[in-house]
Chain A
């Protein structure tokens, strides 16, 4: 039934936004995690979203184009390839033999904007779910 699908769709979106919020939290927490080599340095993580759809073979031919996607899914979490920040701090305990430390490529401003966007999207999907719940509850009173 269509209306109960709304719960799955909004639920998948809320899960995806939670993953996004999680990566943002991880990025912000590690924004100042220095290391002494380029390979070991933390890199900003970003989730990649894609449309979740029903397996086409489960559907009869004539309905395939009619069915919209069934929500959103997180394909993978990728690491940003933006350049790392190198800083000359010879007195830093993590400094390498040349006196340099490596800072992660986390852009704090971008992360904050991402965080607000994710939490707004989460709220909106919670509202969608609530409206669908009211519609269904109402339908249950049919004929009473």
Chain B
């Protein structure tokens, strides 16, 4: 029996990839903290992850036979959202540096958590293969 990596690793490889992407988005916000008219972006982590694991489906009612069933893709949820600033700034920039820093650090910690989960999955597989 072959090992099914998708089943063996569970959600953690997707989560790790998503955390890496979010780090990129947040780093870009911080890099553009002094850019006029820049609008801060972020990912809705739960929505994107749910879209990737197939638990999140928008209900579509088919009232005509010509209606497309597979019209809304889960990838749509992966769209980047715009942040609502607490306080508007004169130059139209919506980056709040302290908050972005906090989010970036939190994201890095959660990346490590996902990494630990993934690592232990691999360790489990190795132990199973060796049969020790």
Interface residues of chain A, those whose CB is within 8 Å of chain B, are 1-3, 5-6, 9-10, 12-13, 16-17, 20, 48-51, 62, 65-66, 68-72, 117, 121, 124-125, 128, 131-132, 134-135, 138-139, 141-143
B122 CB within 8 Å of chain A: yes
**Residues in chain A near residue B30, CB distance under 8 A:** 10, 13, 124-125, 128
Residues of B within 8 A of A68 (CB): 24-25, 28, 41, 80
Docked Cα-Cα span, A135 to B112, in Å, equals 7
Supposing A2-B17, A10-B27, A135-B111 touch, asked if A142 and B118 sit within 8 A by C-beta, the answer is: yes
A131 touches B20 (CB 8 A): no
Q: Which B15-67 residues sit within 8 Å CB-CB of chain A?
A: 16-17, 20-21, 23-25, 27-28, 30-36, 38, 41
> B11 an interface residue at 8 Å Cβ cutoff?
no
* Dominant secondary structure at the B interface: helix
A138 proximity list for chain B (CB < 8 A)? 112, 115
Chain B, Cβ-Cβ closest to A118:
B34
**A12 engages B126 (CB within 8 Å):** no
**In the assembled complex, B105 has its CB within 8 A of some CB on chain A:** yes
* A142 x B115 contact (CB < 8 A): yes
Q: Is the CB of A6 within 8 A of B27?
A: yes
User: Across the two chains, which residue of chain B brings its CB closest to A3?
Assistant: B20
Residue of B nearest to A143 (CB): B122
